[in-house]
Structures are given as structure tokens and as C-alpha cells.
């Protein structure tokens, strides 16, 4: 297929990326969480192309990205709680699942038959500039083949999708490093995916911790399937020492670890490095190899990190 352009993070690169998106082409771009695989959410052929490029099952709906709350209110119905969450955390790594507004004009594939739509306002300056210049809502799942490790650099995007998308806007590494938190507001509010906004942060606005619906065979966030973020190597969790032949990934002091999520045991750093370290460990482990990962605490971003690690270690389909 065609070669994928690498666009520079300047006015010319943003203008080119926006023109491609308006023409229905696919463009990966950086957000503060991970790189997104962007396509105009109002152009059905573009949305179909996202599913094809990723090999994503059609029942797994997409998150729509817009530059601000006003644009989000044109697509979804907000109540007071949803608006309070948006005011507190947007722009930022929080996705809200809200009733789809009649006449929103989105491709029906975006919601995969659900009466709700998932929306986010990213904080990354390049994502903001791109969304404003494009002037359309942009669907953007993570820019990786479905089920594989998410991308936090333009090179990661090209590793998985080169030749399958028109371009990648190269903004360097992503600061947060794990995907957005997905929350369905309501009574009680439900945490559909832990992510860049912590449950503790949400509780400060909600007045209560969101509940975590149990993972199910057909989960409510349909992308939350057991095996995801999977390296080629087998993954063992909570490893306090490596076994023979394992590549040990440390967190905090771990003498003899091949790689570390954070030598100082910092969860923000571990989240930012997570997907790159998994990719490196996979290369070191080689075909049929094994990775062992040190325990990571369940506080703050640790909830999102452990969620991704659990899926990376899950039995493969
Ligand atoms: P990704 O695009 O890889 O960040 O994954 C997006 C996640 O958002 C998946 O887990 C989807 O299942 C979830 N999602 C998207 N739309 C909805 C929706 N309307 N209701 C619940 N979850 C959604
Ligand atoms: Mg993904």
C-alpha cells in the first residue's frame, strides 16, 4: 500500500493532517495519553477505515475527540454531573460515556449500536490544534493493531500501522502514557476503564468513588476484553525475582532487572514508560520468550497500570 507520511509538529504538519482528515483519510496524532488513530467521525468511510486498519472488531465502539465542552455538547446530552466532570477534567485524560444527541451526525459505526457515545477533550497542544483546524469531531482509538501494545511514540505507530494509514503527526513521546479513564456518569457513576485520571481524583468531584463493574464476557465497555496490550512473549506478574530465562521488568529497587518501569518507584513515570518498556522487553525476550514484571501498587495511576498489565498477561484468544 502507500507509504505513511511522518508529519512534523508545526503549522504545516498540522494543516496537512487536518486536510487529510477532512478528506476522509486516517492520521495518527499524539495525545497526552497515547497516540490516537484519527478519522473524521462524521465520514462513514473514514470510520470504517479505522476498524480495518486496526483489525478492530466492529462491536467495539470508538471514542470521539473534540476540542472543548461546547463541541462535546453538540454530540451528547450532558446533565449537571457530566458537566461538573467535564469542567474539572477537560481538557485531559477522561472519557465520558453519555447519551448520544439526536442528529449528532456521527457515523453509526462510532457507537456500534449503543445509545451512548464516548467523548473526550484531549489536552495535548498538537491534538488541540489539529481538532480545531479540522473542524470535525475525530474518532481516535489507540493507533495500534487491535489487541497489541498501545503506542506512545510515532515510531510505535509506524511499527504497527505503516502502510495502513495516510500519516502520523510526530509529537514525540506521550506524557501520561496510559489511555484515558472511561467513566459512565450516573448514580452510581461507573468506572468502565481505569486510566490517566485516577479514581481518587474522580471521587473529589463525584463525592463518591465510582463503582467498577465486573469484567464480563460482554462487558459494558466492549473493548475491555481480557487479553489486550499483549506482547508476543508470555507475561508473569507480581514477580519479586526472575526465573531462569525471564526478562525481569522492575518497579522501584530491583537489583538485576533488565528494564525498569521506574527505578524510584514513581507511578507517573511508570505509566509514561509502560508501553515502551513492554515493547523493549518483548524484543529482549525474543520469539517464545517470557517476561516477568515486579509488583506495582494499586494506588493512583497504579490502578490503570495494573489493569493494562493484567490484560497483557491474560491467556490469549
Ligand atoms: P481505545 O479506542 O483503544 O482507547 O478503546 C476505547 C474504549 O472505549 C473501548 O474500551 C470501548 O469499548 C470504549 N467505549 C467506546 N464507546 C463506548 C460506549 N458508548 N460505551 C461504553 N464504552 C465505550
Ligand atoms: Mg486501544
Task: Taking residues 158-162, report their average pLDDT.
Answer: 98
Positions of CATH 3.90.870.10 in the chain: 5-206
pLDDT in tens, 94-105: 999 999 999 999
- Ligand 1 pocket, residue 307 CB under 6 Å: no
Task: Taking residues 122-130, report their average pLDDT.
Answer: 98
Task: Taking residues 32-41, report their average pLDDT.
Answer: 98
How confident is the prediction for the chain on average, in pLDDT? 94
Integer angstrom CA distances of residue 65 from 93, 131, 233, 305: 11, 8, 33, 23
All three cell numbers of 157, joined, read 505507530
- Ligand 1 pocket, residue 100 CB under 6 Å: no
- The confidence score (pLDDT) of residue 216 equals 44
Give, for ligand 1, the residue of 137, 222, 230 to mutate: max count of ligand atoms closer than 8 Å to Cβ.
222
Please say whether the structural domain 5-206 has been given the CATH code 3.90.870.10: yes
Closest atom of ligand 1 to 182 CA is 8
Closest residue CA from atom 4 of ligand 1: 141
Closest atom of ligand 1 to 111 CA is 19
Point out the least confidently predicted range of 45-54, 218-227, 241-250: 218-227
Closest atom of ligand 1 to 117 CA is 19
Give the ligand at the shortest distance from the Cα of 120. Answer: 1
- Ligand 1 pocket, residue 170 CB under 6 Å: no
Task: Taking residues 141-155, report their average pLDDT.
Answer: 96
Task: Taking residues 19-38, report their average pLDDT.
Answer: 98
Closest residue CA from atom 22 of ligand 1: 221
Q: Which residue has the cell 487529510?
A: 20
Q: What is the rounded CA–CA span in Å between residue 62 and residue 112?
A: 8
Point out the least confidently predicted range of 46-50, 206-210, 215-219: 215-219
Instruction: Say if residue 226's pLDDT is above 90.
Output: no
Going through 13-130 in order, the beta strands assigned E by DSSP cover: 27-30, 35-40, 63-65, 94-99, 116-120
Instruction: Say if residue 73's pLDDT is above 90.
Output: yes
Q: Which residue has the cell 473542524?
A: 135
Amino acid at each position: 500500500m502507500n507509504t505513511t507520511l511522518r508529519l512534523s509538529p508545526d503549522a504545516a504538519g498540522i494543516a496537512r493532517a487536518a486536510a487529510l482528515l477532512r478528506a476522509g483519510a486516517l492520521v495518527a496524532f499524539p495525545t497526552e495519553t497515547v497516540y490516537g488513530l484519527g478519522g473524521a467521525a462524521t465520514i462513514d468511510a473514514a470510520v470504517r477505515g479505522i476498524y480495518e486498519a486496526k483489525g478492530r472488531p466492529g462491536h467495539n465502539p470508538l471514542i470521539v475527540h473534540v476540542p472543548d465542552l461546547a463541541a462535546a455538547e453538540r454530540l451528547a446530552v450532558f446533565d449537571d454531573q457530566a458537566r461538573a466532570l467535564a469542567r474539572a477534567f477537560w481538557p485531559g485524560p477522561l472519557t465520558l460515556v453519555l447519551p448520544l444527541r439526536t442528529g449528532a451526525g456521527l457515523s453509526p459505526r462510532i457507537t456500534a449500536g449503543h445509545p451512548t457515545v464516548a467523548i473526550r477533550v484531549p489536552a495535548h497542544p498538537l491534538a488541540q490544534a489539529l481538532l480545531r483546524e479540522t473542524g470535525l469531531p475525530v474518532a481516535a482509538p489507540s493507533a495500534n493493531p487491535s489487541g497489541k501494545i498501545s503506542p506512545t511514540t510515532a515510531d510505535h505507530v509506524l511499527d504497527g500501522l505503516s502502510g495502513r494509514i495516510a500519516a502520523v503527526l510526530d509529537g514525540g513521546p506521550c506524557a501520561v502514557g496510559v489511555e484515558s479513564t472511561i467513566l459512565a456518569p450516573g448514580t452510581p457513576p461507573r468506572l468502565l476503564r481505569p486510566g490517566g485520571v485516577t479514581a481518587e481524583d474522580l471521587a473529589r468531584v463525584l463525592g463518591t468513588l465510582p463503582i467498577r463493574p465486573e469484567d464480563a464476557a460482554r462487558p459494558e465497555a466492549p473493548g475491555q476484553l481480557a487479553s489486550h496490550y499483549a506482547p508476543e512473549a508470555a507475561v508473569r506478574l507480581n514477580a519479586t525475582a526472575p526465573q531462569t530465562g525471564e526478562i525481569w521488568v522492575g518497579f522501584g529497587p530491583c537489583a538485576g532487572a533488565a528494564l525498569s518501569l521506574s527505578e524510584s518507584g514513581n507511578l507517573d513515570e511508570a505509566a509514561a514508560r509502560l508501553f515502551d518498556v513492554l515493547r523493549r522487553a518483548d524484543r529482549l525476550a525474543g520469539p517464545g520468550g517470557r517476561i516477568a514484571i515486579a509488583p506495582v501498587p494499586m494506588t493512583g495511576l497504579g490502578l490503570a497500570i495494573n489493569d493494562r498489565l493484567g490484560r497483557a498477561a491474560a491467556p490469549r484468544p
